């Protein structure tokens, strides 16, 4: 990442650990794709390194580091395997979100094991019934990345309006593994190793303390912030989560640049010339490096601003929130385009499934399908407000 701030000693240690993992991740990438699951050894390695504790509260063994450290680790892992980095991004955000829940919920998850992992799928498909003490929910949710490694899950649904004047809005329901089943049905083009299977719930009870109004950053809606007081937990949910599903794309682009450069130096095409001598290849790789540098600078600037506002107990205005979310989605779109250009310069020999650049191409195009990476939708939302119209995005 572009070095525009001084990293802490712990951040440097974590980044070094992530970089040392790259060869192993590259070697296990085919296995992850084949088994539709990140290898258990990889999850164990990340647990041992402390990666999942980066944004976890200190009172439960976490590190409470700057989110930029989290995304930098994610990008580094993606140089070896984008599926691994994707799962890390999604699952690594959940300790941050749980830190905003009531303390009772945090104790339930981390009280006996501070390394407990949490999955999620936020699509608001829950059938929600209000009952005494909480809610009963049922439903089927898709795209739960890394679900087989988790003992808890966060599920999306619409919380009904209540008698206290709270209107209906998106909520996140926290459930233990005993309350849901996993249907292994993830068989897709890219990001195969993420194991983003379906979650099925049949009439489970969820107490009030395990339900959160997802996009509400008020102290009433995020009572965990009263005990976990780092500015980290005051940053809006949509800003933190959207980057968790786009930042791996930047690391994957860097990995593709590395692979392409190494291949170009030795590959000789059927016409007898090295790829490195091709003017088109030279232009394409230079453009990819330039683009990546710009994308990283924007991430660095945005989170420096968000952190500063959180420290001053200020909330970013809607135009800023929409712009930052648009820029997050743009990452996936532009990284896919740059890897597409790199792959074209590798000609027919680059199209073998064993080619790491071809895997990255597939992974990036899969990532573009995530709702948080819908660049056209978020571009329109930002443009709407820019032109003086009301905000059309209820989740920002």
CATH number at residue 350: 1.20.140.10
Residue 140 and residue 125 in one domain:
yes
Q: Please give the model's pTM, rounded to 2 decimal places.
A: 0.96
The pLDDT of residue 206: 98
Mean pLDDT across 359-386: 97
Domain at 54, CATH number? 1.10.540.10
Q: How many domains does the chain have?
A: 3
pLDDT tens string 93-131: 999 999 999 999 999 999 999 999 999 999 999 999 999
Token pair for 117 = 């992992």
Look at 16-20, 315-319, 348-352, 367-371 and tell me which has the smallest mean pLDDT: 348-352
62-67 LR contacts (CB < 8 Å, sep 24+): 62/95, 62/99, 62/114, 63/10, 64/228, 64/230, 64/232, 65/8, 65/10, 65/11, 65/232, 66/11, 66/232, 66/303, 66/307, 67/96, 67/232, 67/235, 67/240, 67/243, 67/303, 67/306, 67/307
Of 191, 226, 261, the one marking the end of a domain is 226
Residue 3: what pLDDT? 55
Same domain, 30 and 16: yes
Return left, alpha or beta for 313; rule: phi > 0 is left, psi -120 to 50 is alpha, else beta: left
Structural domain of residue 308, as residue ranges? 237-386
Residue 160's CATH number: 2.40.110.10
Percent of the chain with pLDDT over 70: 97
**One domain for residues 152 and 250:** no
Average the pLDDT over 317-338 and give the result.
Answer: 98
């Amino acid at each position: 990442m572009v070095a525009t701030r001084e990293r802490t000693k712990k951040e440097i240690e974590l980044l070094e650990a992530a970089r040392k993992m790259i060869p192993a991740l590259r070697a296990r990438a085919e296995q992850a794709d084949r088994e539709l699951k990140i290898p258990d050894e990889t999850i164990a390695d990340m647990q041992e390194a402390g990666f999942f504790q980066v944004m976890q509260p200190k009172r439960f063994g976490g590190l409470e580091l700057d989110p930029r450290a989290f995304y930098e680790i994610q990008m580094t892992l993606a140089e070896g395997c984008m599926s691994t980095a994707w799962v890390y991004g999604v699952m690594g955000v959940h300790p941050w979100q749980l830190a905003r829940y009531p303390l009772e919920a945090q104790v339930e998850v981390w009280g006996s094991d501070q390394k407990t992992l949490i999955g999620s799928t936020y699509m608001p498909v829950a059938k929600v019934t209000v009952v005494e003490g909480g809610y009963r929910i049922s439903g089927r949710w898709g795209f739960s990345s890394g679900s087989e490694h988790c003992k808890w899950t966060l599920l999306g649904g619409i919380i009904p309006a209540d008698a206290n004047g709270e209107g209906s809005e998106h909520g996140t329901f926290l459930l233990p593994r005993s309350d849901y089943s996993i249907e292994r049905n993830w068989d897709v083009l890219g990001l195969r190793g993420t194991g983003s299977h379906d979650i099925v719930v049949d009439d489970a009870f969820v107490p009030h303390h395990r339900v959160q109004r997802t996009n509400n950053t008020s102290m009433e809606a995020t009572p965990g912030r009263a005990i976990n007081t780092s500015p980290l937990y005051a940053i809006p949910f949509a800003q933190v989560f959207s980057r968790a599903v786009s930042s791996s794309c930047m690391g994957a682009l860097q990995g593709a640049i590395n692979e392409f450069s190494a291949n170009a130096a030795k590959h000789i095409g059927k016409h007898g010339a090295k790829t490195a001598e091709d003017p088109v290849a030279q232009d394409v790789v230079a453009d990819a490096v330039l683009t990546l540098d710009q994308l990283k600078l924007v991430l660095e600037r945005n989170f420096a601003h968000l952190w500063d506002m959180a420290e001053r107990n200020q909330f970013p205005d809607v135009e800023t929130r929409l712009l930052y979310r648009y820029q997050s989605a743009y990452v996936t779109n532009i990284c896919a385009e740059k890897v597409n250009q790199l792959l074209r310069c590798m000609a027919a020999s680059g199209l073998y499934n064993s080619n790491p650049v071809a895997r990255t191409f597939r992974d990036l195009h899969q990532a573009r399908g995530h709702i948080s990476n819908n660049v056209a939708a978020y571009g329109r939302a930002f443009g709407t407000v820019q032109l003086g119209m009301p905000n059309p995005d209820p989740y920002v």
